[in-house]
Amino acid sequence: MLDIKLIRENPEKVQELLNRRSEEDYALQPILELDSKQRELETSRSQLSARSNEIGKSIGQKIRSGSDPKGAEIGALKAEGNEIKSKLSELEPQEKELKAQIDNLLLQLPNLPDESTPIGKDERENVELRRWGDEYLPQNGKILPHWDIGEKLGIFEFGRAVKVAQSRFVSLVGAGAALERALINFMLDRQIAAGYLEVMPPILINSNSLTGTGQLPKFAEESFKCQDDDLWLIPTAEVPVTNFYREEILDASLLPIYHCAYTPCFRREAGSYGKDTRGLIRLHQFNKVELVKIVHPDTSEAEHQSLVQNAEEILQALKLPYRIIELCTGDLGFGAAKCYDIEVWLPSSETYREISSCSNCKDFQARRADIRFKEAGKKGTQYVHTLNGSGLAVGRTMAAILENYQQPDGTVKIPEALQPYLKREIL
RNA sequence: GGAGAGAUGGCAGAGUGGUUGAAUGCGACGGUCUCGAAAACCGUUUCACCCGCAAGGGUGACGGGGGUUCGAAUCCCCCUCUCUCCGCCA
């Protein structure tokens, strides 16, 4: 959520930054108008309350000092009190309504892109920052897509998963399941060693949590909802883990907080019909190891860089070629101010595909979720900065291994670093 | 699912209609003392919003929402959550 004070005091700047995202009309004017009405009401309302408090106090004093509670003097005060009460009963609902409207509008606004985020319309204007692992690019000509090799090896089951669920679900079988498990453990161990505290959060979460990280109210159709409860399947562990600290005031000495979490993730993938219909790339359910950081605002830039590194290290350990993309303003996610994607090489389609997305949300989620910190000796509180990134998407990592480690005879080598986890060298 | 109990400041824990933003204790912070520390003593110690250049002033908040009243932490209603017992269950 954007700071209403910032919008109030600097509407042109806010407008300009929002416009960098897209040509959508972010109409700040209605917010400003509602805001000034609300403040007007608040001023008159609080003046009335002040008088009402005075009356209450003075009635109390008079009664205690012997005035007749049924007498004329107290009667007059009561009458005035009643008059104020009736005025307040008109003002209060109006003010409440205004606040709700303002809140509604604010919740719809995306984060401001960071000044350093490259300006661009869509993913075509993302900026490639660097590549890693060219020396590991597979050399042999014909590489089967991972779904074909997986099917040959008998490690996936698509048809039966569709039968028991729906399209865009998969079951891993035998070595496939073991490989998935091995990858999860491998990733977690690495991130724990890098200083992240592991969490296994709830996978069903309430609406407040989704609002806190920005998936609601705008993107309700992207998550699965349980009809009879205010509970949703998590689209990413970012949501429960960041919301761990919702409505808390943390002691500054606790920062930075680093968490990693393995969870399944559930996405409706509405609007992606016909895209990536085969394989492990785009599923309604997939596994992910997520990294979440809650940090002091002064350090969030550096924390962002190291977050990306932590995700990269997994690919480096697995010797999978990748590149780092800096998203342009037009491709930036709703809550992000700045975002780096890591894209892994998929030789069967000769493309780099997103395997991690590392965002700095700055204070945007912190405002929505009300996550603050207090520095000893300093008056008041400040909002933390929140960051998150995949470390990594497990299914896509498996796809990358199946393709990049494919051998001419149709077998797949297991990356060395993973062998101790899977306890075999070849699939 | 059935029956009961409860939700107060960082924590513990008073408060059942009138200067109660809230006693008391602990903790934390500052000071005195000390070579230093402990102890003791003194003091401080919530957050948000609004008005104001400022000094300052005001409002709101005792799980959440409504109601009664001139006045609610205190009374009434609804909701949420927690705990205990029974049932069920991985």
pLDDT band at residue A379 under the 50/70/90 scheme: confident
Of the residues A108, A137, A161, which one is the last residue of a structural domain?
A108
The 10 Å Cβ neighbour count of residue A195 is 11
Strand partners, A324: A130, A342
Q: Which nucleotides of B are covered by protein (CB under 7 A)?
A: 18-19, 28-29, 47-51, 58-60, 66-67, 69-71
- Which residues, listed in sequence order, are joined to residue A47 by a DSSP beta bridge? none
Among residues A51, A80, A108, the one where a domain terminates is: A108
| Residue A378: pLDDT band with limits 50, 70, 90 | confident
Same domain, A315 and A212: yes
Distance of C1' in B90 from CA in A45, Å: 55
Element (H, E) at A287: strand A285-295
Average pLDDT over residues A113-120: 97
Note whether residue A292 is domain-resident: yes
pLDDT band, residue A111 (cuts 50/70/90): very high
Structural domain boundaries, residue A64? 4-108
Domain annotation covers residue A116: no
Instruction: Please indicate, yes or no, if residue A132 is contained in any of the structural domains.
Output: yes
Helices (H) then strands (E): counts for chain A: 13, 16
Place A426 in a pLDDT band, splitting at 50, 70 and 90: very high
Q: Is the CB of A215 under 7 A from strand B?
A: no
Q: Residue A251 falls within a domain, yes or no?
A: yes
Type of residue at A67: S
User: Rounded to whole angstroms, how far apart are CA atoms A118 and A220?
Assistant: 28
Sign, Cα dihedral of A117, A120, A123, A127: negative
Smallest CA–C1' separation from A206, nucleotide: B80
Residues A64, A183: one domain? no
Cβ neighbours of residue A163 closer than 8 Å, sequence gap 6 or more: none
Residue A357 included in any domain: yes
Minimum mean pLDDT among A280-284, A309-313, A370-374: which range? Answer: A370-374
State residue A212's pLDDT score. Answer: 92
Other Cβ atoms within 10 Å of A223 Cβ, number: 21
Residue A72 binned pLDDT confidence (cut-offs 50, 70, 90): confident
A 109-168: CB within 7 Å of strand B: none
CB A263 within 8 A of CB A205: no
Residue A248 CA, nucleotide B62 C1', distance (Å): 18
For the domain that residue A87 is a member of, what is the CATH number?
1.10.287.40
Same domain, A228 and A91: no
In a domain, A81, yes or no: yes
* Active site amino acids of A: 267, 282, 354, 357, 396
User: Does A171 share its domain with A101?
Assistant: no
Q: Does residue A274 register a pLDDT over 80?
A: no
A8 closest-nt by C1' vs CA: B50
Which ipTM score applies to this complex? 0.88
| Nucleotide at minimal C1' distance from the A74 CA | B70
Decide: CB of A67 under 7 A of nucleic strand B: no
Contact A218, A334 (CB under 8 A): yes
Residue A411 falls within a domain, yes or no?
yes
Q: In the predicted model, what is the mean pLDDT of residues A374-396? A: 90
The reply to whether A69 and A168 lie within a common domain is: no
Give the domain CATH number at A417.
3.30.930.10
Round to whole Å and give the CA distance between A45 and A233. 42
A128, A206: one domain: yes
Residues A209 and A135 in one domain: yes
The domain boundary, picked from A77, A108, A139, lies at A108
Determine the distance between A74 (CA) and B21 (C1') in angstroms.
27
Please check the confidence at residue A335 and state whether its pLDDT lies above 90: yes
Interstrand relation of A204-205 and A231-233 (parallel, antiparallel or unpaired): antiparallel
Asked if residue A129 and residue A95 are part of one domain, the reply reads no
Evaluate if the CB of A85 falls below 7 Å from strand B. Answer: yes
| Domains held by chain A: number | 2
The model's pLDDT over A173-182, given as tens digits with 9 standing for 90+, comes to 999 999 999 9
Q: Given a cut of 90, is residue A413 above it in pLDDT?
A: yes
Residues A101 and A140 in one domain: no
Tell if A378 CB is < 7 Å from nucleic strand B. Answer: no
User: What span, in angstroms and rounded, lies between the C-alpha atoms of A405 and A423?
Assistant: 17
Residues A204 and A171 in one domain: yes
Is there a single domain that holds both residue A132 and residue A77?
A: no
Which of A296, A267, A300 lies closest to A284 in space, CA to CA?
Answer: A267
Do A39 and A187 belong to one domain? no
Assess if residue A221 is contained within a domain: yes
